[in-house]
Amino acid sequence: MSEFVVEPGAILAGAVRVPGDKSISHRALMLGAIASGRTGIRGFLEGEDCLATLQAVRRFGVAVDRPGPGEVVIEGAGLHGLRAPGGVLDMGNAGTAMRLFMGLLSAQAFDSELVGDASLMSRPMERVAGPLRAMGGDIATRDGRPPVRIRGGRPLHGIRYDMPVASAQVKSALLLAGLYADGETTVVEPAVTRDHTERMLQAFGVDVVARCGSASLRRPARLEATRIEVPGDFSSAAFFIVAACIGARAPFLIEGVGVNPTRTGLLEMLALMGADLRLFNHRSAGAEPVADIEVRPARLSGIRVPERLVPLAIDELPAFFVAAACAEGETLVTGAAELRVKESDRIAVMARGLESVGVRHEVLPDGLRIEGGPLGGGVVESHGDHRVAMSFAVASLRASAPIVIRDVANVATSFPGFAPLARSAGLRLAERDG
Ligand code: S3P
Protein backbone atom coordinates (compact mmCIF):
# COMPACT_ATOMS: atom_id res chain seq x y z
CA MET A 1 0.00 0.00 0.00
CA SER A 2 1.55 3.29 -1.01
CA GLU A 3 1.78 6.47 1.03
CA PHE A 4 2.48 10.15 0.59
CA VAL A 5 4.81 11.84 3.04
CA VAL A 6 4.42 15.61 2.86
CA GLU A 7 6.82 17.89 4.68
CA PRO A 8 5.75 21.24 6.07
CA GLY A 9 7.16 24.61 5.13
CA ALA A 10 6.58 24.48 1.37
CA ILE A 11 5.38 27.47 -0.64
CA LEU A 12 3.29 27.00 -3.75
CA ALA A 13 4.55 28.89 -6.78
CA GLY A 14 4.28 29.05 -10.54
CA ALA A 15 1.64 27.56 -12.80
CA VAL A 16 0.12 24.16 -13.51
CA ARG A 17 -2.08 22.50 -16.11
CA VAL A 18 -4.18 19.60 -14.82
CA PRO A 19 -5.22 16.46 -16.73
CA GLY A 20 -8.51 16.09 -18.62
CA ASP A 21 -11.95 16.03 -17.07
CA LYS A 22 -13.01 12.64 -15.73
CA SER A 23 -16.76 13.09 -16.17
CA ILE A 24 -16.37 14.31 -19.75
CA SER A 25 -13.86 11.56 -20.65
CA HIS A 26 -16.26 8.80 -19.53
CA ARG A 27 -19.12 10.33 -21.50
CA ALA A 28 -17.03 10.86 -24.64
CA LEU A 29 -16.17 7.14 -24.72
CA MET A 30 -19.73 5.98 -24.16
CA LEU A 31 -21.34 8.31 -26.68
CA GLY A 32 -18.54 7.74 -29.20
CA ALA A 33 -19.15 3.99 -28.91
CA ILE A 34 -22.83 4.25 -29.90
CA ALA A 35 -22.40 7.01 -32.49
CA SER A 36 -22.28 6.47 -36.23
CA GLY A 37 -18.82 7.27 -37.55
CA ARG A 38 -15.43 8.05 -36.05
CA THR A 39 -15.16 10.14 -32.88
CA GLY A 40 -11.81 11.70 -32.02
CA ILE A 41 -11.12 12.70 -28.42
CA ARG A 42 -8.27 15.01 -27.34
CA GLY A 43 -7.29 15.69 -23.76
CA PHE A 44 -8.75 12.36 -22.62
CA LEU A 45 -8.04 11.57 -18.95
CA GLU A 46 -5.80 8.52 -18.87
CA GLY A 47 -6.72 7.76 -15.26
CA GLU A 48 -7.78 4.32 -14.06
CA ASP A 49 -11.49 5.20 -13.89
CA CYS A 50 -11.73 6.27 -17.51
CA LEU A 51 -9.48 3.40 -18.61
CA ALA A 52 -12.04 1.03 -17.03
CA THR A 53 -14.69 2.59 -19.27
CA LEU A 54 -12.36 2.33 -22.26
CA GLN A 55 -11.75 -1.37 -21.57
CA ALA A 56 -15.49 -1.98 -21.30
CA VAL A 57 -16.18 -0.19 -24.57
CA ARG A 58 -13.63 -2.44 -26.26
CA ARG A 59 -15.31 -5.49 -24.71
CA PHE A 60 -18.53 -4.41 -26.47
CA GLY A 61 -16.68 -4.95 -29.74
CA VAL A 62 -16.00 -1.27 -30.42
CA ALA A 63 -12.64 -0.44 -32.01
CA VAL A 64 -10.80 2.10 -29.85
CA ASP A 65 -7.40 3.39 -30.85
CA ARG A 66 -5.00 5.47 -28.74
CA PRO A 67 -2.70 7.16 -31.23
CA GLY A 68 -0.97 9.47 -28.73
CA PRO A 69 -1.10 10.84 -25.18
CA GLY A 70 -4.63 11.98 -24.40
CA GLU A 71 -5.83 10.95 -27.84
CA VAL A 72 -8.55 8.39 -28.43
CA VAL A 73 -10.24 7.43 -31.69
CA ILE A 74 -13.46 5.43 -31.54
CA GLU A 75 -15.06 3.70 -34.50
CA GLY A 76 -18.66 4.09 -33.38
CA ALA A 77 -20.76 0.94 -33.60
CA GLY A 78 -24.06 2.84 -33.93
CA LEU A 79 -26.94 2.81 -31.45
CA HIS A 80 -27.54 -0.91 -31.95
CA GLY A 81 -24.02 -2.09 -32.70
CA LEU A 82 -22.67 -3.04 -29.24
CA ARG A 83 -21.96 -6.75 -28.77
CA ALA A 84 -22.18 -8.95 -25.67
CA PRO A 85 -18.98 -8.52 -23.63
CA GLY A 86 -18.65 -12.20 -22.74
CA GLY A 87 -18.05 -12.13 -18.98
CA VAL A 88 -18.24 -9.75 -16.07
CA LEU A 89 -17.27 -6.07 -16.55
CA ASP A 90 -14.99 -4.63 -13.84
CA MET A 91 -15.47 -0.90 -13.28
CA GLY A 92 -12.72 -0.66 -10.64
CA ASN A 93 -13.27 2.42 -8.45
CA ALA A 94 -15.45 4.21 -11.02
CA GLY A 95 -18.97 5.00 -9.84
CA THR A 96 -19.64 7.10 -12.93
CA ALA A 97 -18.73 4.21 -15.22
CA MET A 98 -20.97 1.76 -13.39
CA ARG A 99 -24.01 4.02 -13.10
CA LEU A 100 -23.89 5.40 -16.64
CA PHE A 101 -23.35 1.93 -18.09
CA MET A 102 -26.40 0.72 -16.17
CA GLY A 103 -28.48 3.11 -18.26
CA LEU A 104 -26.82 2.21 -21.52
CA LEU A 105 -26.77 -1.54 -20.93
CA SER A 106 -30.38 -1.88 -19.79
CA ALA A 107 -31.30 -0.98 -23.38
CA GLN A 108 -29.06 -3.52 -25.13
CA ALA A 109 -30.05 -6.86 -26.61
CA PHE A 110 -27.56 -8.78 -24.42
CA ASP A 111 -27.19 -9.43 -20.69
CA SER A 112 -24.39 -7.87 -18.65
CA GLU A 113 -22.92 -7.89 -15.17
CA LEU A 114 -21.01 -5.03 -13.54
CA VAL A 115 -18.64 -5.27 -10.55
CA GLY A 116 -15.97 -3.04 -9.05
CA ASP A 117 -13.40 -2.71 -6.28
CA ALA A 118 -14.27 -2.93 -2.57
CA SER A 119 -15.33 0.74 -2.44
CA LEU A 120 -17.57 0.52 -5.49
CA MET A 121 -19.09 -2.79 -4.33
CA SER A 122 -20.39 -0.97 -1.26
CA ARG A 123 -21.98 1.99 -3.07
CA PRO A 124 -25.74 2.42 -3.64
CA MET A 125 -27.01 1.42 -7.07
CA GLU A 126 -30.79 1.32 -6.52
CA ARG A 127 -30.95 5.07 -7.14
CA VAL A 128 -30.27 4.17 -10.78
CA ALA A 129 -31.78 0.67 -10.93
CA GLY A 130 -35.18 1.81 -9.57
CA PRO A 131 -36.02 4.38 -12.24
CA LEU A 132 -34.51 2.16 -14.96
CA ARG A 133 -36.95 -0.57 -13.89
CA ALA A 134 -39.76 1.97 -14.17
CA MET A 135 -38.61 2.44 -17.80
CA GLY A 136 -38.94 -1.32 -18.37
CA GLY A 137 -35.36 -2.37 -17.64
CA ASP A 138 -34.58 -5.64 -15.89
CA ILE A 139 -31.85 -4.95 -13.33
CA ALA A 140 -30.87 -6.75 -10.16
CA THR A 141 -28.58 -5.50 -7.41
CA ARG A 142 -27.42 -7.28 -4.26
CA ASP A 143 -29.08 -5.48 -1.37
CA GLY A 144 -28.96 -2.32 -3.41
CA ARG A 145 -25.25 -2.65 -4.21
CA PRO A 146 -23.17 -4.27 -6.94
CA PRO A 147 -22.88 -6.73 -8.55
CA VAL A 148 -25.41 -5.26 -10.95
CA ARG A 149 -26.98 -7.81 -13.27
CA ILE A 150 -28.80 -6.48 -16.29
CA ARG A 151 -31.00 -8.54 -18.59
CA GLY A 152 -31.04 -7.24 -22.11
CA GLY A 153 -33.71 -7.37 -24.76
CA ARG A 154 -36.31 -5.41 -22.75
CA PRO A 155 -38.18 -2.66 -24.56
CA LEU A 156 -37.84 0.63 -22.66
CA HIS A 157 -40.34 3.45 -22.45
CA GLY A 158 -39.71 7.03 -21.45
CA ILE A 159 -40.73 8.28 -18.02
CA ARG A 160 -40.71 11.55 -16.17
CA TYR A 161 -38.53 11.04 -13.14
CA ASP A 162 -38.26 13.43 -10.21
CA MET A 163 -34.90 12.58 -8.65
CA PRO A 164 -35.01 12.39 -4.86
CA VAL A 165 -31.28 13.23 -4.70
CA ALA A 166 -29.38 15.67 -6.90
CA SER A 167 -27.25 13.26 -8.91
CA ALA A 168 -25.74 13.80 -12.35
CA GLN A 169 -24.98 10.09 -12.55
CA VAL A 170 -28.64 9.15 -12.09
CA LYS A 171 -29.75 11.84 -14.56
CA SER A 172 -27.17 10.69 -17.10
CA ALA A 173 -28.03 6.99 -16.78
CA LEU A 174 -31.69 7.75 -17.47
CA LEU A 175 -30.89 9.97 -20.43
CA LEU A 176 -28.68 7.23 -21.91
CA ALA A 177 -31.51 4.70 -21.48
CA GLY A 178 -33.85 7.32 -22.97
CA LEU A 179 -31.85 7.16 -26.21
CA TYR A 180 -33.49 3.75 -26.71
CA ALA A 181 -36.91 4.36 -25.12
CA ASP A 182 -40.32 4.90 -26.68
CA GLY A 183 -41.69 8.37 -26.00
CA GLU A 184 -40.07 11.11 -23.99
CA THR A 185 -37.64 10.68 -21.09
CA THR A 186 -37.55 13.59 -18.65
CA VAL A 187 -35.39 13.89 -15.56
CA VAL A 188 -36.16 16.60 -13.02
CA GLU A 189 -33.47 17.48 -10.51
CA PRO A 190 -34.02 18.87 -7.02
CA ALA A 191 -30.91 21.02 -7.42
CA VAL A 192 -28.76 21.77 -10.46
CA THR A 193 -26.14 19.08 -11.16
CA ARG A 194 -23.38 18.87 -13.75
CA ASP A 195 -24.80 18.97 -17.28
CA HIS A 196 -22.00 17.39 -19.31
CA THR A 197 -24.27 14.63 -20.62
CA GLU A 198 -26.82 17.10 -21.97
CA ARG A 199 -24.11 19.22 -23.60
CA MET A 200 -22.34 16.26 -25.14
CA LEU A 201 -25.52 14.62 -26.42
CA GLN A 202 -26.26 17.88 -28.22
CA ALA A 203 -22.76 17.79 -29.72
CA PHE A 204 -23.58 14.30 -31.03
CA GLY A 205 -26.71 15.74 -32.67
CA VAL A 206 -29.33 14.63 -30.13
CA ASP A 207 -32.12 17.09 -29.47
CA VAL A 208 -31.97 17.45 -25.68
CA VAL A 209 -34.22 20.04 -24.10
CA ALA A 210 -32.28 21.19 -21.06
CA ARG A 211 -34.04 23.73 -18.88
CA CYS A 212 -32.87 24.88 -15.52
CA GLY A 213 -33.73 21.89 -13.38
CA SER A 214 -34.76 19.34 -16.01
CA ALA A 215 -33.57 17.54 -19.13
CA SER A 216 -35.70 15.73 -21.73
CA LEU A 217 -35.02 13.79 -24.88
CA ARG A 218 -36.70 11.48 -27.37
CA ARG A 219 -35.10 8.50 -29.08
CA PRO A 220 -32.92 9.80 -31.92
CA ALA A 221 -32.40 7.95 -35.21
CA ARG A 222 -28.67 8.06 -34.61
CA LEU A 223 -25.82 9.89 -32.90
CA GLU A 224 -23.43 11.66 -35.27
CA ALA A 225 -19.77 11.12 -34.45
CA THR A 226 -17.93 14.31 -33.55
CA ARG A 227 -14.66 15.68 -32.19
CA ILE A 228 -14.39 16.11 -28.45
CA GLU A 229 -11.82 18.31 -26.77
CA VAL A 230 -11.71 17.55 -23.05
CA PRO A 231 -10.92 20.52 -20.80
CA GLY A 232 -8.75 20.27 -17.67
CA ASP A 233 -10.70 18.76 -14.79
CA PHE A 234 -12.01 21.43 -12.42
CA SER A 235 -12.08 18.81 -9.66
CA SER A 236 -8.33 18.24 -10.10
CA ALA A 237 -7.67 21.97 -10.41
CA ALA A 238 -9.50 22.36 -7.07
CA PHE A 239 -6.53 20.93 -5.15
CA PHE A 240 -4.25 23.59 -6.62
CA ILE A 241 -6.85 26.34 -6.16
CA VAL A 242 -7.06 25.54 -2.45
CA ALA A 243 -3.29 25.00 -2.25
CA ALA A 244 -2.71 28.46 -3.72
CA CYS A 245 -5.28 30.03 -1.37
CA ILE A 246 -3.50 28.66 1.69
CA GLY A 247 0.10 28.32 0.55
CA ALA A 248 1.14 30.79 -2.17
CA ARG A 249 2.81 34.17 -1.64
CA ALA A 250 2.41 35.35 -5.22
CA PRO A 251 -0.26 34.88 -7.92
CA PHE A 252 -0.59 31.21 -8.91
CA LEU A 253 -2.01 30.09 -12.25
CA ILE A 254 -3.99 27.00 -13.25
CA GLU A 255 -4.35 26.87 -17.02
CA GLY A 256 -7.00 25.39 -19.30
CA VAL A 257 -9.60 24.43 -16.69
CA GLY A 258 -13.20 23.49 -17.49
CA VAL A 259 -15.37 26.11 -15.81
CA ASN A 260 -18.83 24.77 -16.55
CA PRO A 261 -21.00 26.66 -14.02
CA THR A 262 -22.48 23.36 -12.79
CA ARG A 263 -19.01 22.48 -11.50
CA THR A 264 -17.53 25.66 -10.07
CA GLY A 265 -19.34 26.07 -6.75
CA LEU A 266 -15.95 25.92 -5.02
CA LEU A 267 -14.97 29.27 -6.57
CA GLU A 268 -18.04 30.91 -5.10
CA MET A 269 -17.44 29.30 -1.71
CA LEU A 270 -13.82 30.44 -1.59
CA ALA A 271 -14.78 33.92 -2.79
CA LEU A 272 -17.25 34.14 0.11
CA MET A 273 -14.32 33.32 2.38
CA GLY A 274 -12.37 36.22 0.93
CA ALA A 275 -10.22 34.41 -1.64
CA ASP A 276 -8.94 36.47 -4.56
CA LEU A 277 -9.71 34.39 -7.67
CA ARG A 278 -9.67 35.64 -11.23
CA LEU A 279 -10.81 33.84 -14.35
CA PHE A 280 -9.48 35.01 -17.68
CA ASN A 281 -8.69 33.85 -21.20
CA HIS A 282 -12.24 32.48 -21.49
CA ARG A 283 -12.69 30.12 -24.43
CA SER A 284 -14.57 26.95 -25.19
CA ALA A 285 -13.64 23.33 -25.74
CA GLY A 286 -16.55 22.15 -27.89
CA ALA A 287 -19.64 22.47 -25.74
CA GLU A 288 -17.75 23.29 -22.54
CA PRO A 289 -16.43 26.63 -21.25
CA VAL A 290 -12.72 26.81 -20.35
CA ALA A 291 -10.63 29.48 -18.63
CA ASP A 292 -7.35 30.06 -16.84
CA ILE A 293 -7.70 30.57 -13.10
CA GLU A 294 -5.41 32.87 -11.14
CA VAL A 295 -5.30 32.73 -7.35
CA ARG A 296 -3.81 35.69 -5.48
CA PRO A 297 -2.81 35.65 -1.84
CA ALA A 298 -5.64 36.62 0.51
CA ARG A 299 -6.78 35.82 4.03
CA LEU A 300 -9.66 33.37 4.33
CA SER A 301 -12.46 33.72 6.88
CA GLY A 302 -14.91 31.04 7.94
CA ILE A 303 -18.38 31.02 6.37
CA ARG A 304 -21.68 29.20 6.47
CA VAL A 305 -21.77 27.54 3.05
CA PRO A 306 -25.04 28.16 1.20
CA GLU A 307 -26.60 24.73 0.61
CA ARG A 308 -27.39 25.55 -3.02
CA LEU A 309 -23.62 25.50 -3.70
CA VAL A 310 -23.13 21.98 -2.35
CA PRO A 311 -24.14 20.00 -5.50
CA LEU A 312 -22.04 22.43 -7.57
CA ALA A 313 -18.98 21.54 -5.47
CA ILE A 314 -19.77 18.00 -4.45
CA ASP A 315 -16.37 16.55 -5.40
CA GLU A 316 -14.48 19.59 -4.13
CA LEU A 317 -15.72 19.50 -0.54
CA PRO A 318 -12.76 17.47 0.80
CA ALA A 319 -10.38 20.15 -0.52
CA PHE A 320 -12.73 22.86 0.75
CA PHE A 321 -12.62 21.36 4.26
CA VAL A 322 -8.87 21.92 4.19
CA ALA A 323 -9.41 25.55 3.17
CA ALA A 324 -11.89 25.86 6.06
CA ALA A 325 -9.31 24.42 8.47
CA CYS A 326 -6.91 27.19 7.39
CA ALA A 327 -9.47 30.01 7.57
CA GLU A 328 -9.99 32.34 10.49
CA GLY A 329 -13.07 31.36 12.47
CA GLU A 330 -15.70 28.72 11.95
CA THR A 331 -17.02 27.20 8.72
CA LEU A 332 -20.25 25.27 8.51
CA VAL A 333 -21.16 22.88 5.69
CA THR A 334 -24.62 21.28 5.73
CA GLY A 335 -26.82 19.65 3.10
CA ALA A 336 -23.93 17.42 2.04
CA ALA A 337 -25.18 13.97 3.13
CA GLU A 338 -24.27 12.68 -0.36
CA LEU A 339 -20.64 12.84 0.75
CA ARG A 340 -21.33 9.75 2.84
CA VAL A 341 -21.79 7.58 -0.29
CA LYS A 342 -18.82 8.70 -2.38
CA GLU A 343 -15.61 6.69 -2.85
CA SER A 344 -15.53 6.72 0.96
CA ASP A 345 -17.77 8.27 3.60
CA ARG A 346 -16.11 11.63 3.02
CA ILE A 347 -17.66 13.25 6.09
CA ALA A 348 -16.32 10.57 8.43
CA VAL A 349 -12.99 10.04 6.68
CA MET A 350 -12.21 13.76 6.32
CA ALA A 351 -13.22 14.32 9.95
CA ARG A 352 -10.82 11.60 11.13
CA GLY A 353 -8.07 13.08 9.00
CA LEU A 354 -8.69 16.57 10.39
CA GLU A 355 -8.59 15.06 13.86
CA SER A 356 -5.20 13.48 13.10
CA VAL A 357 -3.71 16.87 12.21
CA GLY A 358 -5.30 18.63 15.17
CA VAL A 359 -8.17 20.52 13.55
CA ARG A 360 -11.16 21.06 15.79
CA HIS A 361 -14.43 20.11 14.18
CA GLU A 362 -17.88 18.68 14.76
CA VAL A 363 -19.33 15.90 12.62
CA LEU A 364 -22.92 16.49 11.49
CA PRO A 365 -25.18 13.96 9.77
CA ASP A 366 -24.99 16.01 6.56
CA GLY A 367 -21.79 17.98 6.89
CA LEU A 368 -19.05 19.34 9.11
CA ARG A 369 -18.43 22.31 11.36
CA ILE A 370 -14.75 23.21 11.19
CA GLU A 371 -12.82 25.61 13.36
CA GLY A 372 -9.91 27.20 11.56
CA GLY A 373 -6.59 27.17 13.35
CA PRO A 374 -3.06 25.83 13.29
CA LEU A 375 -2.47 22.43 11.68
CA GLY A 376 -0.07 19.90 13.12
CA GLY A 377 1.34 16.79 11.50
CA GLY A 378 0.07 13.25 11.80
CA VAL A 379 -0.94 10.08 10.03
CA VAL A 380 -4.06 10.29 7.87
CA GLU A 381 -5.91 7.21 6.61
CA SER A 382 -7.36 8.04 3.21
CA HIS A 383 -9.37 4.79 3.04
CA GLY A 384 -8.37 4.52 -0.60
CA ASP A 385 -10.19 7.76 -1.42
CA HIS A 386 -8.22 9.72 -4.02
CA ARG A 387 -9.73 13.10 -3.13
CA VAL A 388 -9.10 12.65 0.61
CA ALA A 389 -5.47 11.78 -0.13
CA MET A 390 -4.88 14.84 -2.33
CA SER A 391 -6.68 17.15 0.11
CA PHE A 392 -4.31 16.27 2.95
CA ALA A 393 -1.30 16.61 0.66
CA VAL A 394 -2.43 20.21 0.16
CA ALA A 395 -2.99 20.66 3.92
CA SER A 396 0.77 20.18 4.42
CA LEU A 397 1.26 23.75 3.18
CA ARG A 398 -0.03 24.97 6.54
CA ALA A 399 1.08 22.07 8.76
CA SER A 400 3.76 22.40 11.40
CA ALA A 401 5.04 18.81 11.03
CA PRO A 402 5.03 16.08 8.35
CA ILE A 403 1.76 14.47 7.31
CA VAL A 404 1.79 10.82 6.28
CA ILE A 405 -1.17 9.92 4.07
CA ARG A 406 -1.87 6.23 3.78
CA ASP A 407 -3.41 4.17 0.99
CA VAL A 408 -2.96 6.69 -1.82
CA ALA A 409 -2.75 4.42 -4.89
CA ASN A 410 -6.23 5.49 -5.99
CA VAL A 411 -4.99 8.99 -6.73
CA ALA A 412 -4.28 7.39 -10.13
CA THR A 413 -8.02 6.89 -10.69
CA SER A 414 -8.60 10.60 -11.30
CA PHE A 415 -5.28 12.41 -11.26
CA PRO A 416 -2.37 10.48 -12.71
CA GLY A 417 0.76 12.56 -12.26
CA PHE A 418 -0.54 14.42 -9.20
CA ALA A 419 2.60 13.82 -7.13
CA PRO A 420 5.15 15.11 -9.69
CA LEU A 421 2.89 18.04 -10.60
CA ALA A 422 2.46 18.97 -6.94
CA ARG A 423 6.25 18.79 -6.48
CA SER A 424 6.78 20.99 -9.54
CA ALA A 425 4.56 23.61 -7.86
CA GLY A 426 6.60 23.43 -4.65
CA LEU A 427 4.95 20.79 -2.44
CA ARG A 428 7.49 18.71 -0.53
CA LEU A 429 5.78 15.43 -1.29
CA ALA A 430 7.46 12.02 -1.37
CA GLU A 431 5.84 8.73 -2.38
CA ARG A 432 6.78 5.47 -0.69
CA ASP A 433 5.50 1.94 -0.32
CA GLY A 434 3.83 1.80 3.06
C1 S3P B 1 -20.36 12.57 -11.56
C2 S3P B 1 -21.38 12.95 -10.73
C3 S3P B 1 -21.23 13.11 -9.27
C4 S3P B 1 -19.77 13.18 -8.87
C5 S3P B 1 -18.94 12.14 -9.55
C6 S3P B 1 -19.00 12.30 -11.06
C7 S3P B 1 -20.62 12.43 -13.00
O8 S3P B 1 -21.80 11.98 -8.63
O9 S3P B 1 -19.64 13.08 -7.47
O10 S3P B 1 -17.59 12.22 -9.13
O11 S3P B 1 -19.66 12.31 -13.79
O12 S3P B 1 -21.80 12.44 -13.39
P13 S3P B 1 -23.37 11.93 -8.23
O14 S3P B 1 -24.17 11.87 -9.45
O15 S3P B 1 -23.50 10.69 -7.39
O16 S3P B 1 -23.61 13.19 -7.41
pLDDT tens per residue across span 62-83? 999 999 999 999 999 999 999 9
**Residue 434 pLDDT exceeds 90:** no
Instruction: Confirm if 252 and 12 have CB atoms less than 8 A apart.
Output: yes
Find residue 430's DSSP bridge partners.
5
CA of 315 from ligand 1 middle (Å) equals 8
What pTM was computed for the model?
0.98
pLDDT for the residue numbered 246: 98
315 part of the active site:
yes
Q: For residue range 247-280, what is the model confidence (pLDDT) as tens digits?
A: 999 999 999 999 999 999 999 999 999 999 999 9
**Residue 381 pLDDT exceeds 90:** yes
273 lines ligand 1 (CB under 6 A): no
CA of 398 from ligand 1 middle (Å) equals 30
Q: Which atom of ligand 1 is nearest to the CA of 22?
A: 11
Strands (E), 235-275: 252-258
Q: Which atom of ligand 1 is nearest to the CA of 165?
A: 16
346 lines ligand 1 (CB under 6 A): no
Determine the Cα–Cα distance for residues 282 and 291; give it in Å rounded to an integer. 4
Q: Whose CA is nearest to atom 13 of ligand 1?
A: 167
Average model confidence (pLDDT) for the chain? 98
112 lines ligand 1 (CB under 6 A): no
Determine the Cα–Cα distance for residues 358 and 216; give it in Å rounded to an integer. 48
CA of 169 from ligand 1 middle (Å) equals 5
> Which residue is catalytic, options 21, 195, 233, 315?
315
**Residue 212 pLDDT exceeds 90:** no
Determine the Cα–Cα distance for residues 175 and 192; give it in Å rounded to an integer. 16
* Residue 245 confidence class, pLDDT cut points 50, 70, 90: very high
